[in-house]
Amino acid sequence: MGSTHNYLAVDLGAENGRVIIGTLEEERLSLVEAHRFANIPVRLSDGLYWDVLHIWSEIKSGISTVVSRYCKQLDAIGVDTWGIDFALLDKKGALLANPFHYRDKRTDGMYAEAFRRMTRESIFENTGIQFMEVNTLYQLLAMVVRKSPLLKTAQTLLTIPDLFNYWLTGKIICEFTNATTTQCFNPHKRDWAYPVLGALGIPEHLFRPVIEPGTVIGSLDLGVANEVGTRRIPVVAPACHDTGSAVVAIPAEGKNFAWISSGTWSILGVEVDQPVVTEQTLKYNFTNEGGVFGKWRLSKNVMGLWLLQECRRTWARQGEELSYDEITYMASQARSFQSIIDPDFGGFLHPDDMPDQIRQYCNNTGQSVPQDKGELIRSVLESIALKYRWVLERLEEITTTRFERIHIIGGGTQNRLLNQFTADVTQRTCLTGPVEATALGNVLMQGIGLGHIESLECARNLVRISFPPSVYLPGESKEWDQAYGRLLEVIKR
């Protein structure tokens, strides 16, 4: 690791996309954000879509900016994105339609149809993935039920990062970590779950062979290289699922830790050597997603900062632009534990007015209704932390292990109030950072793929040295214990 290496990470999230330069020099990592753009879904009369052509244009602009202004010598490019969503290509490799957004309502009610065709138990046994109606499996089933003509024309299904890797290189591949999020993949066989696809009437020919994270896909397409003004740089598949990349960048030592990837979604989990597909994990609706170096992420999603994002968007539409720092400060000044919500209540998935939906929830559950913004946001943050405790307790029950510390990574680590709440409610030491875990993990897997970094342990050591974590120690727990009892009551309703 004596030489200087520069990697370009394309990091696409549900709110924005970034093109980031990662530099490895003298056994230290640094990041520079070269290009940022909004990732705004588009609503049409027939549903909610991602604007992938806009994203593709911004990716190319970002690469061009990096090459012309920052760094002419790049070792590689890697792409990571959210999971679940997908694009369909025809037999000539042309995009058939803009991909739907996972929050589109067309999957509502698809559980009943899926379980009519195959039992819940059998689907879980074959996939090991938590049940969420936004999953790829139910998006495809919705197309089957509606007799979408696209399924007759489509030749290939590509998840979102696979689509951009295809446009970057001309190579059609399916990367492992993102494939495992679809609920169309069998973790035991490390191949597509063909019995599930067959039972639900989903065309099996759409699914292509899967490659491992760290694989060099190929070189940048000549036409794209000429357009952005660079040579044919190697394109490496990192952990293409953003959580998979983020977990690579956990600055942990040893094995006795849990982690929270904190962002639009919060994902709480641990690393395991084998997928845990049992009656317990089915009962608690946990998931087994693929990691790197043979690891699996045993975890569960919690509706995270999406709740704050939607409140903020609603207030902006009403003419009041508030920063995250401003609304978090309001929450810090509000009285604690006035009302408790289940962050994963179905009505919060795609509301038109999140503050109103939260107030309705509190009223319907017989609780005090938040009267101002500070009270409402404090209830949200306290409730997210309380749900973390619920997930952690289930996780420790499943693994028969007590996890002594929690690593919190991702953009949500900037919310210090939520970090402290998490330490208080779980009574565990919480270590936060890096903020840019996803981009770092992307960069690290490029370095590993090219042989510049030896192992996952070496990668995490680099993160510890380059981005020392902040520490949150647990405080008084009595009030949190009482509030946790209230969460258990609202979950039962």
What is the tens place of the pLDDT at every residue in 288-334? 999 999 999 999 999 999 999 999 999 999 999 999 999 999 999 99
Q: Let me know whether 398 and 279 are in one domain.
A: yes
Asked if residue 445 belongs to a domain, the reply is no
Average pLDDT for 423-429: 98
User: In this structure, are 216 and 357 located in the same domain?
Assistant: no
Domain carrying residue 87: 5-236
Strands 5-12 and 16-25: antiparallel
Per the domain annotation, does 136 fall within a domain?
A: yes
What is the C-alpha separation between 180 and 126, in angstroms, rounded?
Answer: 12
* Three-state SS at 457: helix
The CATH number of residue 135's host domain is 3.30.420.40
Same-domain pairing of 227 and 265: no
Q: Kindly report whether the peptide bond that precedes residue 99 is cis, defined as omega within 30 degrees of 0.
A: no
Q: Sort strands 210-211 and 174-175 into parallel, antiparallel or unpaired.
A: parallel
Whether residue 43 lies inside any domain: the answer is yes
Q: Is residue 243 part of a domain?
A: no
Q: Name beta bridge partners: 7.
A: 22, 76
Instruction: Identify whether residues 318 and 395 lie together within a single domain.
Output: yes
- Which residues, in sequence order, are CB contacts of 270 under 8 Å at separation 6+? 257, 258, 259, 297, 298, 299, 395, 399, 401, 403
Say what the pLDDT of residue 493 is: 77
Name the helix (H) or strand (E) containing 85. Answer: none
**Predicted TM-score (pTM) above 0.85:** yes
Same domain, 188 and 295: no
Angle ∠(225,231,234) on CA atoms, nearest 5: 90
Count structural domains, the chain.
2
When pLDDT is cut at 50, 70 and 90, the band that residue 2 belongs to is: low
pLDDT band of 120, cuts 50, 70, 90: very high
For the chain, percent of residues with pLDDT exceeding 90? 95
Last residue in a domain, options 209, 236, 263? 236
90 within some domain: yes
Identify whether residues 163 and 268 lie together within a single domain: no
Residues 359 and 401 in one domain: yes
- Four-point Cα dihedral 364, 366, 372, 378, nearest 10: -100
pLDDT the model gives residue 126: 98
Residues 389 and 311 in one domain: yes
- The pLDDT-based confidence of 191 (bands split at 50, 70, 90) is very high
CB 470 within 8 A of CB 423: no
pLDDT in tens, 383-394: 999 999 999 999
Amino acid at 491: I
Q: Is residue 307 part of a domain?
A: yes
Taking the C-alpha atoms of residue 305 and residue 265, their distance in angstroms, rounded to an integer, is 6
pLDDT at 477 over 90: yes
Q: Between vectors from CA 336 to CA 332 and to CA 337, what angle results, nearest 5°?
A: 140
Of 236, 266, 298, which residue is a domain's last? Answer: 236
Same domain, 310 and 217: no
387 within a domain of the structure (yes/no): yes
Q: Looking at the structure, tell me whether residues 28 and 127 fall in a common domain.
A: yes
Report which of 384, 383, 372 is spatially closest to residue 334, judged by C-alpha positions: 372
Name the token pair of 178: 């993102």
Q: What is the pLDDT of residue 247?
A: 97
φ/ψ (deg, to 5) at 213? -60, 145
Check if the beta carbon of residue 265 is closer than 8 Å to that of residue 304. yes
Residue where a domain terminates, one of 236, 268, 297:
236
Same domain assignment for residues 196 and 297: no
Q: Looking at residue 25, what is its pLDDT? A: 94
> Annotated catalytic sites, by residue?
242
Q: Are residues 219 and 305 in the same domain?
A: no
